[in-house]
């Protein structure tokens, strides 16, 4: 699909400025990462933990792309502060509800922006002694980093822009767009 066609197929959402990553590019990257995880974790107890709400689509897509026995967990966190800026500390609003100590854990995240959310979530999960802990993120905005945090795998590096689609929202909308687009704020 060319970007012109995508722009006209935004499910009636307004404010879409530009498509940054197409649905096909996302599918290919997720499939490749699923294959990589399949090989790396073969024979090991694996749990993929999605951070709600933003990662629910990426986490589910990645989960289906993993072709070995694998369990799923979800956690919801909210950053203090409002709007689109994360303020540095996070509240667990829904916990995994499982003992992760017998598992290799992969956190599936939608986007790393300032890095505060993931730095804090990793600190909390490490205290629970998983066999290993890695972070796979769909998107990474390294220019915006405020803490020294690096994902083990990031599928796409994007510039400093506010993006939506594939689970990412702007005012709770746009999550169902199948591509990643920049919005006009
Ligand atoms: P961080 O703590 O600043 O890294 O915040 C990460 C969280 O902020 C993500 O999990 C998203 O929920 C949200 N976020 C950051 N940038 C964007 C964006 O461009 N679009 C939508 N949500 C974003
Ligand atoms: Mg998120």
| Ligand 1 center from residue 180 Cα (angstroms) | 13
Give the pLDDT mean for 103-116.
Answer: 97
Q: How far apart are CA 57 and CA 167, in angstroms?
A: 5
The ligand 1 site (C-beta within 6 Å) comprises: 54, 79, 86, 110-118, 162-164, 168
| Ligand 1 center from residue 84 Cα (angstroms) | 7
The single residue of 61, 95, 99, 113 carrying the catalytic annotation is: 113
Q: Which atom of ligand 1 is nearest to the CA of 109?
A: 10
DSSP 3-state of 172: coil
pLDDT of residue 185: 86
pLDDT of residue 1: 47
pLDDT of residue 84: 55
- Helices marked H in the chain — which ranges? 3-7, 23-40, 56-65, 116-126
pLDDT of residue 57: 98
Residue 5 pLDDT > 70: no
| Ligand 2 center from residue 152 Cα (angstroms) | 16
Residue 81 pLDDT > 60: no
Q: What are phi and psi of 123, to 5 degrees?
A: -60, -45
Residue 7 pLDDT > 90: no
pLDDT of residue 144: 94
% of the chain exceeding 90 in pLDDT: 85
Give the dihedral sign, CA 32/37/43/45. Answer: negative
Q: What angle do CA 48, 52, 97 make, to 5 degrees?
A: 60
Band the pLDDT of 79: cuts 50, 70, 90: confident
Q: How far apart are CA 84 and CA 59, in angstroms?
A: 21
Give the pLDDT mean for 5-20.
Answer: 83
Instruction: Name the residue with higher pLDDT: 171 or 6.
Output: 171
Band the pLDDT of 6: cuts 50, 70, 90: low
Give the pLDDT mean for 40-52.
Answer: 98
Least confident residue range of 73-87, 124-138, 159-173: 73-87
Band the pLDDT of 136: cuts 50, 70, 90: very high
Least confident residue range of 3-17, 39-53, 109-123, 132-146: 3-17
Beta bridge partners of 105: 47, 133
Q: Which atom of ligand 1 is nearest to the CA of 168?
A: 21
pLDDT of residue 9: 84
CATH match of 26-183 with 3.40.50.2020: yes
- Per the listing, tokens 């060319």 go with 2
**Known catalytic residue at 113:** yes
């Amino acid at each position: 699909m060319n970007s012109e066609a995508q722009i006209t197929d935004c499910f009636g959402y307004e404010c879409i400025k530009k498509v940054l990553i197409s649905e096909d590019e996302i599918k290919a990257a997720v499939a490749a990462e699923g294959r990589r995880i399949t090989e790396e974790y073969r024979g090991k107890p694996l749990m993929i933990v999605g951070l709600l709400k933003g990662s629910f689509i990426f986490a589910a897509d990645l989960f289906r792309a993993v072709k070995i026995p694998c369990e799923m967990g979800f956690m919801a966190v909210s950053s203090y502060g409002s709007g689109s800026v994360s303020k540095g500390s996070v509240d667990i609003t829904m916990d995994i509800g499982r003992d992760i100590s017998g598992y290799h854990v992969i956190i599936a995240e939608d986007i790393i922006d300032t890095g505060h959310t993931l730095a804090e979530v990793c600190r909390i999960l490490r205290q629970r002694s998983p066999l290993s802990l890695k972070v796979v993120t769909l998107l990474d905005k390294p220019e915006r980093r405020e803490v020294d945090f690096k994902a083990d795998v990031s599928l796409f590096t994007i510039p400093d822009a506010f993006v939506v689609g594939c689970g990412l929202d702007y005012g709770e909308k746009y999550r169902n767009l199948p591509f990643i687009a920049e919005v006009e704020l």
